[in-house]
Amino acid sequence: MNTSELSTINPFFVMEILEEAQQLEKKGMQIVHLEIGEPIEKVDHRIISFAKKALDRNKDKYTNSLGLIELRLLISKYYKNNFNLSIDPNRIILTLGSSGAIILSILSSTNYGDEIIIVKPHYPCYPQIIKILGRKVKFFETFEKDNYQINFKKLSNSITKKTKALIINSPSNPTSISQSEEILKKISGLKIQVISDEIYQGLSISNNVSSIFKYNSTKTIVVNGFSKLYSMTGWRLGYCILPKKIIRVGQKLQQNMFICAPTLSQHAATKAFSIPEKNKNVLLMSYKKKRDYLIKNLNKMGINIDYYPDSAFYIFCDFSKFTNNSLMFCKEILNKTGLALAPGIDFGDNYKNFVRISYAGSFSDLRKGVKLLSNFLMKYNV
């Protein structure tokens, strides 16, 4: 990308709302954070304990550029246990967060100037990363009336000779929707490179969320990480699983751009796989309760949720009854009430009247946020 094009890079509006909220907190204002997708749960004691042990044993130097073999073997075992797939650990690259995995995946599988399709509503950083890397963004829209499922026929028709890759996010940020087995199977058979961002894959509330690897584990790329399911947002550890034919390319890019993923985070994450399943089930049940509570109360406010979020911890809401500029709406409600929400413009330029609400925090904060929002909306008399 040329320096003259840097002005086309959009800010990450959710982060700007967060940073504005943090400034207000420093001034003494009480803030209810429903804007950021950051789990409130503490990192499991096994992970923390092992990180301390690794530090005490001076395990803080560079690792292999692919990452610790112990952790890559555990990831491979995870796919064996959950999907009955044999994934070669030498196809796995531990990365600087899942964003690092997205960057390596794009650079390893496409060329400068290639067209990449992303599905709207989308994770805010996808189009910015694609532009920074000198690729071209093409949008494909999904709709609430279709439960935000990808229309495969329309998707196929949108692919041209210029199109070299597709990025899907299932389960999705901002909708918390996972694509159906039927859709994943069809997408896995596309002739272009498919990059499946599955960072929320372990956070299935209502369905057993699948992986695109279930249908094509040799040619597709999977991105995942430890931030969401294990609450390790600040540990900055993700991974990508690349096809064998491009793994060496990915490794060389890793060596030159990042050297390796954070070493202590890698050691700590080996204990993530020893967390009992019952602990995860308790977490998922809490998300289900918060989701149901939020949907019920949004409907009472006249914000109708006409789709069914089955995973993760977001609801993407149409606020067109109240605003056609959700960025200004989110700034106003933040400054007047202390409620932080995510503006829809982050997730696509035609979502200016949408707001994303995160219930990754505590139930107490969610209740406070719902009350603040309800009281604020009363002034609209809708």
Q: Residue 381 pLDDT more than 70?
A: no
pTM here is 0.96
Q: What are phi and psi of 316, to 5 degrees?
A: -100, 115
Q: What is the mean pLDDT of the chain?
A: 96
Angle at 246 between CA 264 and CA 185, to 5 degrees: 95
What integer pLDDT is reported at residue 318 of this predicted model? 97
pLDDT, tens digit, 9 for 90 and up, residues 262-279:
999 999 999 999 999 999
Q: Examine the pLDDT at 298 and tell me if it is beyond 70.
A: yes
Q: Which two tokens stand for residue 293?
A: 């509570």
Domains defined along the chain, listed by start: 3-42+277-377 (3.90.1150.10), 60-274 (3.40.640.10)
pLDDT at 140 exceeding the cut of 60: yes
The pLDDT-based confidence of 379 (bands split at 50, 70, 90) is confident
pLDDT band at residue 103 under the 50/70/90 scheme:
very high
Averaged pLDDT for residues 62-67: 98
Residues 107, 109, 112, 117, Cα dihedral to 10°? -100
Tens digits of per-residue pLDDT, 160-207?
999 999 999 999 999 999 999 999 999 999 999 999 999 999 999 877
**175 closest CA partner among 274, 289, 311, 369:** 311
pLDDT for position 139:
98
Query: How much is the pLDDT for 208?
Result: 77
List, for residues 351-364, the tens digit of each pLDDT value. 999 999 999 999 99
Give the Å distances, CA to CA, from 60 to 42, 49, 52, 98. 23, 15, 11, 21
pLDDT band at 5 (very low <50, low <70, confident <90, very high): confident
For helices 326-337 and 13-26, give the axis angle rounded to 10 degrees: 10
- pLDDT tens, 27-57? 999 999 999 999 999 999 999 999 999 999 9
Considering the chain, what percentage of its residues have pLDDT values greater than 90?
A: 95
pLDDT reported for residue 59: 96
